[in-house]
Amino acid sequence: MKRFASVGLTLFAFLLLFAGSAAAQGNNVTGQVIGLDGNPLPNATITIKNDTGRTFTTKTDSKGNFIQVGVPDGVYTVSLTSPAVPQGFTTQFQASGSNNQPWNINLKEIAAASGGSEKAAAEKEAFNNMKQHFDAATTAMNDADAIKKQLATAPADQKSDLTSKMNAAYQTALTEYTAAEQGVNAKDTGNHALIWASIGRADDATSKYADAATAYQKAIDLKPTADYYSDLSTALTNVAASQHDPAVLQQKISDADAACQKAVALAGSAPAAPAAGGAAASPAQTSTAVASRCYKNMGIVLSNKGDLQQAIDPLKKATDANPKDAQAWFLLGSAYVGSVQSKTEGDKEVFTFDPNTSDALQKCSDLDPTGPLGAQCKDMAASVTQMSGGVSTSVGTKPSKSSKPAKKKP
């Protein structure tokens, strides 16, 4: 028995020594390196180092595989160097006897993921820069619009200074919108279109109507909406009103009319946008409302430019779209009166009014019976009645056809 016990103790001691030797040897670490081209990366130097400074160095074989024996448990920084990887690569792995997962390094996947993160960060920075320019432009536009309202009631000695400030603010808005447009992501068609439309409005405000029409068209090409087509129509009408060539003028008016038709069609086909709280759709975007607004703006521009004959057709379309718009009837009646034809017969000047003149003036009076528009329409109707029988020219004077209507804004 004594001898048997001695043999057992000797065997137990041997097992302890073996276990201690195995622990000291550590883990056998294996892995594979895939290069930037997606293929195994041969002859890459792999350096494995822990926080105590313990370091191992190995190389990948022809298939990108590497092995390192005797790596104790712990967290290791693994560095890779190779002529095929100009900046090298560093990562971390954990060595553990209970986890023998390979230390694989796929540089192609890592580069793609890193590139995606960098691209996302760059896009975010670009969006923030674009938004800063857009917000600055919007602030400048609001400032300019506020000054424009002040000009209507400002004393004469303040108008020059206010006009200078207003123009400077509009120019700032145009500059900032242009900077925003240059920074917007090409795939972001919504914001791209919005910025072009905003540039158009800034051009409109500074009477750059041809530039405004170009900007609105770019917005439409990206994202056609009823509003953009309405704005385009107004810009084209302003371009038409500045033409001296009758053929060009007529073409631009036709283009403006076509833009209104597009606006109406889009408003009619667009899904109704619910109002706050899910109530009924806002009437501002119905096809009839868009038609009324778009065609009336055409009529206002042409009336303000003194081209009353050309203003009649769009104003008729505006009143057809909204028969309860007193201003549209006033403008139409004024256009009829202002474009009256006359000829001399004996000692009289005979005036020929459009047969719809009285009806337009009457509807204006009925819709605004106690207001300023109704009063002007009544005065014009009285003048029409007086002039319809002809006016004697024997005394050498002629009564005024009508007082010129006040200019309106689109």
Q: Which domains does the chain have, with CATH numbers?
A: 28-109 (2.60.40.1120)
Largest separation between any pair of C-alpha atoms in the chain: 160
Please check whether residue 88 is in contact with residue 64, taking contact to mean a CB–CB distance below 8 angstroms: no
Q: According to the model, what pLDDT value does residue 71 have?
A: 92
Torsion of CA 5, 11, 14, 16, to 10 degrees: -80
Q: Mind listing the pLDDT tens digit for each residue in 321-334? A: 999 999 999 999 99
Of 294, 341, 326, the closest CA to residue 313 belongs to 294
Question: What's the pLDDT at 284?
Answer: 54
Identify the three-state secondary structure at position 77: strand
For 221-244, how does the pLDDT look when each residue is reduced to its tens digit (9 = 90+)? Answer: 999 999 999 999 999 999 999 988
| Confidence (pLDDT) at 63 | 96
How buried is 205 (Cβ within 10 angstroms: 0-12 exposed, 13-18 middle, 19+ buried)?
A: buried
pLDDT per position as a tens digit, 41-96: 999 999 999 988 899 999 999 999 999 999 998 899 999 999 888 888 999 988 88
Q: Which residues of the chain have pLDDT under 70?
A: 1-25, 98, 115-120, 270-284, 390, 393-410
- CA–CA dist 284, 306 (Å, integer): 29
